Amino acid sequence: MADFDHIIVGSGINALVAAAMLSKKGKRVLVLEREDRFGGCMRTDEITLPGFHHDVMAATFVLFLTSPSHAALGADLARHGLEFCHTPHPTAVLRPDGTSLVLCTDRAANIETFNALAGGDGDRHGADVGAIEADAPFLFALLGGELWSWPTAKLLAGQAWKRGPRGLAAWMGEALRPTRAWLESSYSSELVQALWAPWALHTGLTTESAYGAQMGKVIAFALEAAGAPVIKGGAGRAADTFKALIEENGGELRAGADVDQIRTHNGKASGVRLADGTEISASHVICSVAPGQLYGRLLRDTAKGVSDEKAKDLQHFRHGRGNFQLHYAIDGPVRWKTAGLEDVALIHLADSIDSVSKSSNEAERGMLPATPTICVGQPHRLDPTRCPEGKSILWLQIPDAPRTLKGDASGLIATDGSWTEAVREAFANRIEATLANHIEGFSETVLARKAYSPADLESMNINLVGGDPYGGSCALDQFFIWRPFAGSKNHTTAINNLHHIGASTHPGPGLGGGSGFLLAKRLGT
């Protein structure tokens, strides 16, 4: 008998969801993590000063709260201490001139606010999020369901019957519109356009990418319906509660366990070999890793795993833009010059669709953006336990940092093609200058700051290739049924009983745990 029913390589959200669900079904589960802690991008540390608890990478859990994973595991995780902290103001945009627009979790109020900016914009917003709500069973089955399955085939057939084949094709065509096309044709107010444009970057897309409009509407619906919650105590606390649940179910987790190779026998996965030579057998092996890690390292000596076809797939697989993180410990409150931002969870510093397009285009060309699109989180306003009383924390994410550095769009930061400490801090200074323009006396209140370049993020998590937090480009040719490869199907590989999950697989990145949920649901029956 094998040592375990399921060995899971990696411990990000998808791995933990799979482990929790499979162990709940009575399966013998082992989670192996090469780093010294579990959680992947769910990581909380005192990186600036003692008592200031920063989410180093992932921070906002709206995708998990609204996911089937939470529906299946939420009550059990809550028993182990998982608690969400909310604000009625999930997001806002702040433009260079100080004008802002705040979204709340009250649709009627948003409609009224948008209509006051430009006649009809509020009604258009209501129609957009209302359409997502009406299409939810169909849309979310496509976005998060198992695509190669009879239920999905029947769902599509039912939609074709309901809408007619031409009507279904029209729906698909509308869903493929870019963010820019949606915003410019729907909203007259530049403020409304600027509110939604930066969210394209959080889906791994740009404002010009196909299906960006549909993802933008989904985000608008989700933020309005569920807000932008954070975890009480930090994102790392979510990993702790998963660990407690898995162990309660009889599962096992080992940190500092670097899987070196997948073992196979007669065309089937039979276990793993660790870097220290330890061999562990299992009936199934589940890898929550980037494609390069799976096929380039873990299967490097397995002919079937690294066939010519798979080598070609890897050659064509593209990673997306990098991520840059900047964290502050602040003395006292954050005194925004623009009123009404004090309790907003996520504030984008951006001017327009064009500014977002420009910064992402520069990053995709390997350039440090001259004016980066900046996302500012205020987790202490939702969760006061994050820092000492009377202090504040700022979490900044720049979702359009170059993965491969070629230069500076402004020509002011000298680069040699690598993310050196000097380049990182110079880029952080550029970001800070923009932030300081909007906060009264900002420089005098900063107690400490900590920056992470894309290279720093990859050094902490080998699956963040070039700092790409999305597991690969989310362009249409690498999404849905084509993720991660054109021939991919339901998290299977060419090796029997070897499964591939994680951000690089359908349904893609984020904290929803979708691929782990789908695979565990299938294997646990």
State how far the Cα of 460 lies from the Cα of 385, in Å rounded to an integer: 25
Location of structure tokens 């009383």 = 389
CB 373 within 8 A of CB 360: yes
Kindly state the DSSP code that residue 462 receives in the 8-state scheme. T
Common-topology check for domains 4-45+62-84+233-318+472-523 and 321-460: no
Task: Spell out the residues 6+ positions from residue 433 whose beta carbon is closer than 8 angstroms to its own.
Answer: none
CB 468 within 8 A of CB 319: yes
Residue recorded with tokens 């190669």: 148
Q: Hey, what are 366's tokens?
A: 């390997």
Q: Rounded to whole angstroms, how far apart are CA atoms 71 and 226?
A: 14
Contacts of 464 (CB under 8 A, 6+ apart): 41, 323, 454, 457, 458
Query: What is the domain partition of the chain in residue ranges?
Result: 4-45+62-84+233-318+472-523, 110-226, 321-460
Predicted confidence at residue 495, as pLDDT, reads 95
Quote the pLDDT of residue 15. 98
| HEC sequence for 123-167 | HHHHHHHHHHHHCHHHHHHHHHCCCCCHHHHHHHHHHHHHHCHHH
Tokens of 200: 């394209």
pLDDT for 139 equals: 84
407 forms bridges with which residues in the sheet? Answer: 367
- Which long-range contacts (C-beta less than 8 Å, at least 24 apart) are formed by 108-117? 110/224, 114/187, 114/189, 114/192, 117/189, 117/191, 117/192
Among 278, 262, 261, 258, which residue's Cα sits nearest to residue 270? 262
What pLDDT, on the 0 to 100 scale, is given for residue 156?
85
C-alpha span between 466 and 457 (Å, rounded): 8
Residue with tokens 């220290």: 276
Which residues, given as ranges, of the chain have pLDDT below 50? Answer: none
Q: Extract the tokens encoding 384.
A: 């006061």
First to last CA, the chain: 20
Q: Cα separation of 413 and 427, whole Å? A: 8
Give the CATH number of domain 4-45+62-84+233-318+472-523; options: 3.40.50.280, 3.40.50.970, 2.60.40.10, 3.50.50.60: 3.50.50.60
CA distance 108 to 35: 46
Q: Encode 62-121 in three state secondary structure.
A: HHHHCCHHHHHHHHHHHHCCCCEECCCCCEEEECCCCCEEEECCCHHHHHHHHHHHCCCH
> Which residues does 139 contact at the CB level (< 8 Å), separation at least 6?
132, 214, 218
CA angle 244, 272, 17 (to 5 degrees): 30
Predicted confidence at residue 143, as pLDDT, reads: 80
- pLDDT on residue 423: 98
Q: What is the pLDDT of residue 162?
A: 87
CATH topology of domain 321-460: Guanine Nucleotide Dissociation Inhibitor; domain 2 (3.30.519)
CA Rg, the chain, in Å? 23
Over residues 358-405, the pLDDT tens digits come to 999 999 999 999 999 999 999 999 999 999 999 999 999 999 999 989
Q: How far apart are CA 280 and CA 263, in angstroms?
A: 9
Q: Are 376 and 395 in contact (CB under 8 A)?
A: yes
d(CA 380, CA 85): 10
Residue 408 exposed, middle or buried by CB count within 10 Å (0-12, 13-18, 19+) = buried
pTM beyond 0.85, yes or no: yes
Do you find a cis peptide bond into 507, omega within 30 degrees of 0?
yes
pLDDT reported for residue 303: 80
User: Encoding tokens for residue 514?
Assistant: 């979708």
CA distance 468 to 399: 9
- Spatial distance between the Cα atoms of 455 and 461, rounded to a whole number of angstroms: 10
Of 473, 479, 431, the C-alpha closest to 451 is 431
